[in-house]
Chain A
Amino acid sequence: MNDFIFFFNQVVVNGISLGSVYALGAVGVTLIFGILRFAHFAHGDMMTMGAYIAFVLASLVAGLGLTLPLPTGFVVLPFAMVIATLIALGIDKGFYAPLRARGARPVTLLIASIGVTMMIQGLVRLFGGVQTRSFFETEPKGLIRIELPFEGVTRPISFTEPQLLLVIVTAIAVFALHFFLTRSRLGKAMRAMADNADLAKVSGINTALVIRVTWIIAGSLACLAGTMLALDVSLQPALAFNIVLPIFAAAIVGGLGQSYGAIAGGFLLGFAETLAVFNWAVLLRPFRDSFPDWFEIPANLALVQSEYKLTVAFVILVVVLLVRPTGIFKGASS
């Protein structure tokens, strides 16, 4: 039983928290792709930037000497999201809108987003420095342990407070997005534009507004995902750049342009990564008496070494692109 709890702590907890971050990021990527038809590569660095904004706000709040029941970084999140949204709108106005107005191809926008990536990275490192920081320098990181009321179980189910919050806000964000896209007028307009931009335009949908709303959602989701990731691990300049490819992989696996697909893809990749590096020998050990004598359980039965954890996402991506290029859910094509 202890081994199964170890499995739960290692795979289910980590898989859900990693999957939530991937899902939040991938939803933003996929929304932008659906509406604006280009792969927004700078999304990862918008996440990092959001996390840094939250960090600055959290430091300001901590400077006031307030004690809060929740992590400070989490409490200041709404304000950080507003700031990140404004920056996202500014980035669009400054760098993408002129190219769109010229009728540039999606590839040009993709290259422009690489430029934006580099600018954000440069600025984040310029102002934030290159060192790793933690949101929990002045306050303790809450650890939640659940003892199971079974006999012989000594190991508790454990996860951290940020992980719990991450799962909760992901669920809230997903449901909010779902209701926004299916119930509100603007959400329906967004879906119409994702289906057929020209048709949406001639039927009187304010496409400029839809584009603005897309950036608002994507920017705030990016800030949310980045901050939650930074709360879970630590804050460093390459925080989200390292996972921007798995996020794209999640969006593609789920079918670019499909919000629900992106969520599914995010969790799929999160679990695939944690399952691939999990040492399965742990689960075999309780049964070591029932195996014949000649059979020795190898010390390490992980499918891949943990150095290759991120590679799992790319391998899945390449396989999906080969076997089913539209993703699991049929994706939009440009």
Chain B
Amino acid sequence: MTLRYVVLFGALFALIVGVGVLMGLPFTLRLLVEAFAFALIAMGLNIQWGFGGLFNFGVLGMLMVGGFAVTFMSYPINEAFWISDGPIMLGQTLIAAAIGAVLIVLAHKAHRVGVTGKLRAAGIVLAWFVAYIIFRSQMDPAASYILSEAGWVGGLGLPVILGWALGGALAAFIAFFVGKISLGLRTDYLAIATIGIAEIVRATIRNTEWLTRGTLTVSPIPWPVPTPQAWQLWGATTSDSFIYARAGYLALVVALVIVALFLIHRAYLSPWGRMMRAIRDNHIAAGSMGKDVKARQLEIFVFGSVLMGIGGAILVSFGSIYDPSSYQPINHTFIVWVMLIVGGAGNNFGALFGGLFIYMVWLLSEPLAQALFATVSNWSVSMGWHAIPDINARSVQMRVFVLGLIITLALRYAPRGLLPEFIRRDQ
């Protein structure tokens, strides 16, 4: 087993070195930063699916929330918003939302005063409707006012690391409600429900232009480490400045991943991790042993989402742009699942390996497909046939196909992943 770890991680290292030689250092550093961020996200999913057996197809939502958090926290302050009436109007919206929430809670508690059955259900529906109207009556004017007066809310101008932390916290907050709503569902329903909630999050973030600028995108988002521009000011050449800056970012991310891996692995080996695996393998048996299955599952769902939120924040700060329209289920949800399934669900090192490896495959399959198409095209031209049209646009699509092929092959031939979960039999 140890041999397998050495071989796989050795091969991964060789692949990274090979890419570095072929594609140049700045590209490789960029790839590694993003790959490590995805590894962190895959570790988050591993907590949910590998430890807890919870089927989360809403990874995208958590990444978007994390990205929004870091944007909001670290982007410079928008003076125009704070001197306008915007904050007051938002305060009124908040009060309206609170009134609505109280109405809904009261309607839910109606059975205390003897209103039950259909009447209570009707009351709840009515309360939701009224709350929605009250909220919209304040929200819509506030949103259009902010859009016309200040453009958008802007950021808080705080350190980026705080933004990452907020990303984790906000993702945890959302995950708490998602989990509360959907964790009682069966696996396939849970999958659809989490996708549905992620899509709601996506639509909301994309369309609340007063808060996120929506399709207008926010940039440049500051970095937690010196940027290439800063290095250039300090006298580095342009090409060197990118290497220094990205290396600094990479060091920070790798440090974060190592700390996370250490903590998660400790948790995995601890009695808490054992309990989680017991719940995953047989929640009825675990429940009869006195474990609070629902609370533990909620805990693990929130815990995994924190890592996803942080990972999403890291990706956004690194890209230095927050573009809500760029989030797609394939690039941000399914790819993480491929990482985890190929790497090995239930094994933290498997998630790390899968995250790094699959992200490299994802990025590299484009130039490879391009080269392949160019060769075929040249060959067909030399045979007197047509060349392949739009090679560049088409080869981008190849990576989606490659990813699909990898996951179906993995499910068929290595269903437990390249680094399977380690099960001790002697206890």
Chain A residues in the interface with B (C-beta under 8 A): 33, 38-39, 95, 98-99, 102, 104, 106-108, 110-112, 114-123, 125-126, 129-130, 245, 248-249, 252, 305, 307-308, 310-311, 313-315, 317-318, 321-322, 325, 333-334
Quick check: is B398 within 8 A (CB to CB) of the other chain? yes
Chain A residues closer than 8 Å to B402, beta-carbon distance: 122
Point out the residues of chain B lying under 8 angstroms from A334, CB to CB: 186, 188
Known: A99-B412, A116-B408, A119-B401. A39 touches B192 (CB 8 A): yes
Of A39, A104, A110, A125, which is within 8 A of B415 by CB?
A104
Give chain A residues whose Cβ lies under 8 Å from the Cβ of B393.
Answer: 129-130
A98–B410 Cα distance when bound, in Å, is 12
Specify the chain A residue showing the minimal Cβ separation from B408: A115
B399 at the interface (CB under 8 A from A): yes
Q: Once the chains are docked, how many angstroms separate the CA of A291 from the CA of B236?
A: 73
Instruction: Say if the beta carbon of B219 comes within 8 Å of chain A.
Output: no
B403 at interface by CB-CB < 8 Å: yes
Q: B400's contact among A99, A112, A121, A245, by CB below 8 Å, is which?
A: A121
Is the beta-carbon distance between A122 and B192 smaller than 8 angstroms?
no
A-B contact pairs, 15 of them (CB 8 A): A95-B412, A112-B407, A115-B404, A117-B404, A118-B330, A118-B407, A119-B408, A121-B330, A126-B401, A245-B192, A252-B189, A314-B196, A315-B200, A321-B185, A321-B189
* Cβ-defined contact, A129 with B408, below 8 A: no
List residues of chain A with CB within 8 A of the CB of B411: 99, 104, 108, 111-112, 115
| A114-B337, A121-B400, A305-B207 known; A317+B412 contact, CB < 8 A | no
Q: In the complex, which of the residues A39, A125, A321 contacts B394, with contact meaning CB atoms closer than 8 Å?
A: A125
Point out the residues of chain A lying under 8 angstroms from B397, CB to CB. Answer: 121-122, 125-126, 130
Does B77 belong to the interface (CB within 8 Å)?
Answer: no
CA of A123 to CA of B341 in the docked complex: distance in angstroms?
22
Kindly identify which residue among B199, B407, B415 contacts A115, using a CB–CB cutoff of 8 Å: B407
Q: Are B192 and A98 in contact (CB under 8 A)?
A: no
List of A residues within 8 angstroms of B185 by Cβ = 321, 325
Q: Once the chains bind, are A249 and B394 in contact (CB under 8 Å)?
A: no
Main secondary structure of the interface of A (DSSP, over half): helix
Give 1 or 0 for each of B188-204: 1 = CB within 8 Å of chain A CB.
11011101110110011
Bound-state CA distance A33–B207 (Å) is 34
Roughly how many angstroms separate A307 CA and B197 CA in the complex, as a whole number?
Answer: 16
B334 within 8 A of A: yes
B78: chain A residues within 8 A (beta carbon): none
Min CB gap A185→B, angstroms: 30
Shortest Cβ distance from residue A45 to the other chain B in the assembled complex, whole angstroms: 10
A307 contacts B400, CB within 8 Å?
no
In the complex, what residues of B have CB within 8 A of residue A98's CB?
412
Please give the distance in Å from A280's CB to the nearest CB on chain B.
13
Residues of chain B within 8 A of A321, CB atoms compared: 181-182, 185, 189, 193
Q: A95-B408, A116-B404 are in contact. Are A245 and B188 (CB under 8 A)?
A: no
Q: Cα distance A114–B57 when bound, in Å?
A: 11
| Distance A314 CA – B193 CA, assembled complex (angstroms) | 8
Bound CA–CA A151/B397 (angstroms): 56
Closest Cβ–Cβ distance, residue B81 to chain A (whole Å): 22
User: Which residue of the partner chain A has the closest CB to B393?
Assistant: A130
Per-position 1/0 for B321-339, Cβ under 8 A of A: 0000000001000100110
Assess whether B196 is in contact with A112, with CB atoms less than 8 Å apart. no
User: In whole angstroms, how far apart are the Cα atoms of A317 and B408 in the complex?
Assistant: 28
| B405 within 8 Å of A (CB atoms) | yes
B38 to chain A, nearest CB (A): 16
Given A118-B403, A122-B402, 16 more contacts at CB 8 Å?
A107-B55, A111-B341, A111-B407, A112-B407, A112-B411, A118-B400, A119-B400, A119-B405, A122-B398, A129-B393, A245-B199, A249-B192, A311-B204, A321-B185, A325-B186, A333-B186
Chain B residues with Cβ below 8 Å from A118 are: 330, 334, 400-401, 403-404, 407
Inter-chain contact B193/A308, CB cutoff 8 Å: no
- The verdict on B390 contacting chain A, using a C-beta distance below 8 Å, is yes
> Among B191, B196, B206, B404, which residue has its beta carbon within 8 angstroms of that of A249?
B196
Are B407 and A114 in contact (CB-based, < 8 A)? Answer: yes
Q: Which of B192, B197, B203, B204 contacts A248 (CB 8 A)?
A: B192
CB of B237 within 8 Å of the partner chain: no
**In the bound complex, what is the Cα–Cα distance between A126 and B388 (angstroms)?**
11
Q: Are B404 and A106 in contact (CB under 8 A)?
A: no
Find chain B residues with CB under 8 A from A315 CB: 200
Q: Which 9 A-B pairs have the closest CB atoms?
A: A122-B401, A118-B404, A119-B404, A314-B196, A125-B397, A122-B400, A115-B407, A115-B408, A39-B188
Considering the complex, give the chain B residue whose CB is closest to the CB of A317. B196
Query: Across the interface, which residues of A come within 8 angstroms of B182, CB to CB?
Result: 318, 321
Contact: A123 with B407, CB < 8 Å?
no
B187 at the interface (CB under 8 A from A): yes
Known: A98-B412, A245-B192, A310-B199. A129 touches B187 (CB 8 A): no
**Complex: how many Å from CA A321 to CA B182?**
8
